[in-house]
């Protein structure tokens, strides 16, 4: 497609000269005008660039410029004038004109250079917009959060409601259920997508370092601080801050985070100036924060700040036949990446996949399927190709345990896995809370 240029100029000799110069590039299509009203009526042709004389007898340059920008506020325009007026040039640049060129012996080179710069800027903007759309597609709710079970569809219905406001979001769910994927999907489809997505795993950073990571620090704030550094909160300005495993944050840090959320400003370590920040906060936890509040491990006031829009991700075992749907998706993706034919699953392999408990959830299923794709010898994954990672509880019959001992071992395993949450363990195993409390009271289980 040719690069369409409109020229408006009352000096017919200069008009022909400029047209000839621009047509020296075979990719250019040039249309000339001497009447500004006629040019305005032809803006529906959507020119890529308008080169306009600023001193026209029929209409002032400002009137013509306003008329053009009213139709297309992003129109690329070069003003060509016989007079060099710095004040006018600055005013025009502020209005949106890309360049101001004075008619002299160097104007040809200046116009060529200006057009190339405009083309380069336009190309860069198109690439940026393309990448933004790619990110939206990459984190599209319906195509990259796989599943059609009732519970995951309930999550799908909630997600669009998070996009048009800055309400804080709290994502809960076991490890491996896809909390960060959900957070990214919300960010890249929301009004904050022009800003950065800044993730930080609270549990992975020692408490003494977490403050400087979140808030940043000034030069000389402590030994080794040889330069000023922005913190994650400051970097997330006009974007999204994702705090994963927020339940692991210490009480002193919780108090400092609460202040930021209340005041919408941050002070770097060693600094005196408060810096305004505007960011979307998405938090995630594999613990029930309301239980942590009851245990005095988490501030109640911060909890109510975070829980603005709660989203719970169900574990894989509660998602009906999503296990098989997701397994087929992972097999297809892994095969594409490695230039292999996508294998199917035998009946026995399918039964084995569906019967597993998946303590590691979707993350565990992904590793199991990818290993199976490597192990299978043809286009079919068989039962022996499915290998599950060992977990912390061994329930094999050769241990010669009684039924009651098996029961205690299972309950103990799930209590440990769910941070001693009796209600969560009761829900998962479908046993009464009273029974679990009795075992604890009798000393059969210690927490």
- Whether 109 and 25 map to the same domain: the answer is yes
- Whether 160 and 189 map to the same domain: the answer is yes
Q: For residue 72, what are the contacts with CB-CB under 8 A and spacing of at least 6?
A: 43, 46
Query: Is 447 contained in some domain?
Result: no
- Whether 207 and 247 map to the same domain: the answer is yes
Q: What is the CATH number of the domain that holds 378?
A: 1.10.8.60
Tokens 């621009």 sit at which residue? 22
- Whether 90 and 223 map to the same domain: the answer is no
How many domains, the chain?
Answer: 4
The answer to whether the CB of 243 falls within 8 A of the CB of 284 is yes
pLDDT at res. 393: 54
240 — phi, psi (to 5°)? Answer: -125, 130
Query: Is 322 contained in some domain?
Result: yes
- Whether 12 and 87 map to the same domain: the answer is yes
- Whether 149 and 293 map to the same domain: the answer is yes
Of 287, 312, 337, the position where a domain reaches its end is: 312
**CA dist 241 → 129, 132, 228, 238 (Å):** 22, 18, 20, 10
At residue 325, the 3 state secondary structure works out as: helix
pLDDT digits (tens, 9 = 90+) for 203-245: 888 887 899 999 999 998 888 888 899 999 999 999 999 999 9
- Whether 156 and 271 map to the same domain: the answer is yes
Query: Is 433 contained in some domain?
Result: yes
- Whether 426 and 307 map to the same domain: the answer is no
Query: Is 40 contained in some domain?
Result: yes
Distance CA 120, CA 386 (A): 52
Residue ranges of the chain with pLDDT lower than 70?
127-144, 390-403
**CA dist 95 → 71, 74, 387 (Å):** 14, 11, 65
- Whether 102 and 236 map to the same domain: the answer is no
How does DSSP assign 76-126, residue by residue? Answer: EEEEEESS--HHHHHHHHHHT-SEEEE-STTHHHHHHHHHHHHHHHHHHHH
Please give the sequence-ordered ranges of beta strands (E in DSSP) within 333-396, or none if there are none: 344-345, 380-381
Distance CA 203, CA 215 (A): 17
Query: Is 347 contained in some domain?
Result: yes
pLDDT at res. 216: 92
Q: What is the CATH number of the domain that holds 99?
A: 3.40.50.2300
Query: Is 137 contained in some domain?
Result: no
pTM, two decimals, is: 0.59
At residue 389, the 3 state secondary structure works out as: coil
pLDDT at res. 373: 92
Query: Is 391 contained in some domain?
Result: no
- Whether 202 and 245 map to the same domain: the answer is yes
Query: Is 390 contained in some domain?
Result: no
The answer to whether the CB of 278 falls within 8 A of the CB of 234 is no
- Whether 335 and 308 map to the same domain: the answer is no
Query: Containing domain of residue 160, as a range?
Result: 143-312
- Whether 324 and 243 map to the same domain: the answer is no
Q: What is the CATH number of the domain that holds 216?
A: 3.40.50.300
């Amino acid at each position: 497609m040719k690069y369409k240029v409109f020229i408006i100029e009352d000096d017919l000799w200069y008009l022909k000269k400029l047209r000839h110069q621009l047509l020296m590039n075979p990719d250019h299509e040039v249309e000339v005008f001497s009447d500004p009203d006629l040019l305005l009526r032809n803006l529906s042709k959507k020119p890529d660039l308008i080169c306009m004389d600023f001193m026209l007898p029929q209409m002032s340059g400002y009137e013509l410029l306003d008329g053009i920008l009213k139709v297309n506020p992003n129109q690329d325009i070069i003003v060509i004038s016989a007079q060099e007026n710095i004040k006018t040039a600055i005013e025009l640049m502020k209005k949106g004109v890309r360049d101001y060129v004075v008619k002299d012996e160097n104007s040809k080179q200046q116009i060529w250079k200006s057009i190339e710069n405009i083309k380069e800027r336009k190309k860069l903007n198109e690439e940026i917009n393309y990448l933004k759309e790619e990110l939206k597609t990459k984190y599209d709710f319906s195509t990259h959060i796989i599943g059609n079970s009732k519970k995951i569809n309930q999550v799908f219905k909630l997600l669009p409601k998070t996009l048009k406001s800055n309400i804080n979001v709290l994502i809960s769910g076991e490890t491996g259920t896809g909390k960060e994927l959900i957070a990214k999907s919300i960010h890249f489809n929301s009004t904050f997508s022009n800003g950065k997505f800044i993730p930080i795993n609270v549990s992975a950073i020692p408490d003494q370092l977490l403050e400087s990571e979140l808030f940043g620090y000034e030069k000389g704030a402590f030994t080794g601080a040889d330069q000023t550094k922005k913190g994650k909160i400051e970097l997330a300005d006009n974007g999204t801050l994702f705090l994963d495993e927020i339940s692991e944050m210490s009480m002193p840090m919780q108090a400092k985070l609460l202040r930021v959320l209340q005041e919408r400003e941050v002070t770097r370590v060693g600094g005196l100036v408060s810096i305004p920040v505007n960011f979307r906060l998405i938090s995630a936890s594999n613990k029930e924060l309301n239980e942590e509040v009851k245990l005095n491990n988490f501030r109640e006031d911060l909890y109510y700040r975070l829980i603005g829009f709660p989203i719970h991700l169900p574990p894989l075992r509660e998602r009906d036949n999503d296990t098989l749907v997701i397994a087929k998706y992972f097999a297809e993706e892994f095969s594409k990446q490695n230039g292999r034919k996508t294998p199917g699953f035998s009946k026995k392999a399918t039964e084995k996949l569906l019967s597993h408990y998946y303590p590691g959830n979707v993350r565990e299923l992904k590793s199991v399927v990818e290993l199976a794709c490597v192990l299978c010898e043809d286009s079919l994954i068989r039962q022996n190709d499915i290998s599950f990672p060992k977990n912390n509880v061994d329930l094999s019959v050769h241990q010669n345990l009684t039924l009651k001992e098996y029961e205690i071992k299972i309950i103990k395993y799930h209590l440990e896995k769910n941070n001693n949450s009796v209600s969560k363990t009761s829900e998962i195993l479908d046993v009464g809370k009273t029974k679990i409390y009795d075992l604890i009271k009798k000393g059969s289980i210690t927490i």
